[in-house]
């Protein structure tokens, strides 16, 4: 019989106390369930004697955001722990340390990052993170290059594709990002004030063509092992440190999907600043910081990915054909822009929103932010296959904000 059951706070303490050598003898442990995400239980275990602490994350057999009517595979916990370990090897220091994975309880025990803040919250508060663009570009360049056909043994890669098959979590993305927002789906959730804008999405055939092309890439393009949900709620930060968490949506997909997620969430915050920073000058400054970060993330990624390819590329023909490298990187940029657009649109009209915009208390400012985000998102989607430079993303964001 399976030992799996959702843990109580007390059971979490009992398991934590058996973790070899982590807490000293005489520890006085306390436990608090702090999960505020869509899917899992998260226990914060602290020892009042030594001050040591850890995090225990347990998958639930359903999507917490909806309830037991939406069953969800527990295997996502295995995928998350294996991906975290791999990321720790490929991008050292940029993910939490995994202490243990319990395959019966679908439980990952890992480093407590309470000295960091969730980046989304920090950005809402107007904090700047000077190391973020450098760190996240290292993370995405290294985790994606070394799991792609360019940077790893191509036979081993096929076995890795198999190990990270993640159909149920992919289906969530396929529905919530690449389908529901473009039709009158019961999964959608949007502010009645922007119904006209939502309906416009349902009727825009040009937009549907671009989303269908991006959806097809998500379904079929096993380019590299993605994080799969790389939004600013999946990143812990301080001004000096960046730690990427929550890779339970990991699977082999198109590289631009991860980079697009980062850019989308910077731009969602850009739209939300309609409210959070009231002084117009300060708001313009912070928006410039956000667009500078968008530019830096892409440019640093481009530079680091190309350098890895140059120094450690394994595919002979791809590595010795400069025009192919340019073609490949341009395709990544275009995919990044298209996926960023889809990820913005889903957070305004789809099932799961972002607090950068949803928590705006003033309804007029909120409506303005939502319309701005939708305008940016749809422009990115419509322009993705023609894009030549990351500057086009910044031009779109700034021109829509000044409209
Ligand atoms: C039902 S899960 C909704 C969303 O939460 C996760 O963070 C993913 O972004 C997913 O689409
Ligand atoms: Mg998550």
pLDDT at 249: 98
Work out the number of other CB atoms within 10 angstroms of the CB of residue 279. Answer: 9
What is d(CA 249, CA 263) in angstroms, rounded to the nearest whole number?
A: 18
Nearest residue (CA) to ligand 1, atom 2: 38
Residues 389 and 366 in one domain: yes
Answer with the one of 85, 111, 137 that is the final residue of a domain: 111
pLDDT at 403: 86
- Please indicate, yes or no, if residue 3 is contained in any of the structural domains: no
CA distances from 63 to 37, 222, 251, 352, 375 (A): 10, 26, 19, 12, 30
Is 291 near ligand 1, meaning CB less than 6 Å away? no
Residues 178 and 75 in one domain: no
Residues 147 and 62 in one domain: no
What is d(CA 182, CA 92) in angstroms, rounded to the nearest whole number?
A: 39
Residues 359 and 265 in one domain: yes
pLDDT at 273: 93
Domain that residue 40 falls in: 9-111
pLDDT at 65: 83
Say which residues have a Cβ less than 8 Å from residue 301's Cβ, sequence separation at least 6: 137, 140, 141, 259
Measured in Å, residue 235 CA sits from the centre of ligand 2 at: 10
Residues 199 and 245 in one domain: yes
pLDDT at 130: 97
Residues 30 and 132 in one domain: no
> Which atom of ligand 1 is found nearest the CA of 234?
7
Contact, 294 vs 132, CB < 8 A? no
Query: Average pLDDT of each block of 10 consecutive residues along the chain (403 residues)?
Result: 89 95 94 90 97 97 88 97 98 98 98 97 96 98 99 98 98 98 98 98 98 99 98 97 98 98 98 88 95 98 98 98 98 99 98 96 96 98 98 98 91
Residues 342 and 257 in one domain: yes
What's the distance, Cα to Cα, between the start and end of the chain in Å? 61
Residues 132 and 84 in one domain: no
Looking at residue 94, what DSSP letter applies? Answer: S
Residues 140 and 77 in one domain: no
Which tokens is 14 given?
């009992």
pLDDT tens per residue, range 219-267: 999 999 999 999 999 999 999 999 999 999 999 999 999 999 999 999 9
pLDDT at 16: 96
CATH code, domain with 275: 3.90.1200.10
> Which atom of ligand 1 is found nearest the CA of 229?
9
> Which atom of ligand 1 is found nearest the CA of 63?
1
Nearest residue (CA) to ligand 1, atom 5: 38
CATH code, domain with 17: 3.30.200.20
pLDDT at 17: 94
Q: How many domains does the chain have?
A: 2
Residues 53 and 160 in one domain: no
Answer with the one of 95, 111, 127 that is the final residue of a domain: 111
pLDDT at 205: 98
């Amino acid at each position: 019989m399976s030992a799996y059951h959702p843990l109580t706070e007390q059971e979490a303490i009992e398991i934590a106390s058996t973790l070899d050598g982590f807490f000293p003898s005489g520890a006085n442990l306390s436990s608090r369930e702090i999960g505020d995400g869509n899917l899992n239980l998260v226990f914060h275990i602290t020892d009042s004697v030594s001050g040591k602490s850890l995090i225990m994350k347990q998958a639930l057999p359903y999507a917490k955001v909806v309830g037991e009517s939406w069953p969800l595979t527990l295997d996502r916990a295995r995928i998350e722990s294996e991906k975290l370990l791999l990321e720790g090897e490929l991008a050292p220091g940029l993910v939490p340390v995994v202490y243990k994975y319990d395959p019966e309880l679908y439980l990952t025990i890992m480093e407590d990052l309470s000295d960091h803040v969730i980046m989304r919250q920090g950005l809402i508060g107007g904090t700047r993170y000077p190391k973020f663009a450098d760190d996240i570009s290292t993370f995405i360049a290294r985790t994606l290059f070394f799991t792609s056909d360019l940077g790893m043994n191509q036979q081993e890669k096929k076995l890795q594709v198999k190990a990270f098959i993640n159909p149920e979590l992919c289906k969530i993305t396929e529905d919530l990002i690449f389908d529901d927002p473009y039709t009158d789906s019961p999964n959608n959730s949007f502010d009645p004030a922007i119904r006209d804008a939502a309906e416009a999405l349902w009727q825009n055939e040009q937009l549907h063509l671009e989303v269908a092309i991006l959806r097809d890439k998500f379904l079929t393009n096993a380019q590299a092992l993605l994080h799969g949900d790389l939004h600013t709620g999946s990143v812990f930060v301080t001004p000096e440190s960046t730690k990427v968490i929550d890779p339970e949506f990991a699977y082999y997909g198109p590289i631009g999907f991860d980079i697009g997620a980062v850019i989308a969430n910077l731009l969602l915050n850009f739209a939300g600043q309609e409210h959070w920073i009231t002084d117009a000058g300060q708001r313009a400054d912070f928006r410039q910081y956000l667009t500078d970060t968008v530019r830096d993330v892409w440019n640093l990624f481009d530079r680091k990915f190309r350098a890895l390819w140059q120094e450690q590329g394994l595919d002979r023909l791809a590595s010795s054909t400069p025009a192919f490298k340019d073609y490949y990187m341009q395709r990544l940029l275009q995919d990044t822009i298209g996926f960023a657009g889809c990820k913005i649109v889903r957070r305004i009209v789809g099932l799961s929103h972002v607090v950068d915009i949803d928590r705006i208390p003033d309804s007029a400012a909120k409506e303005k932010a939502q319309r701005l985000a939708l305008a940016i998102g749809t422009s990115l989607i419509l322009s993705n296959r023609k894009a030549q430079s990351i500057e086009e993303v910044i031009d779109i964001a700034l021109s829509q904000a000044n409209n």
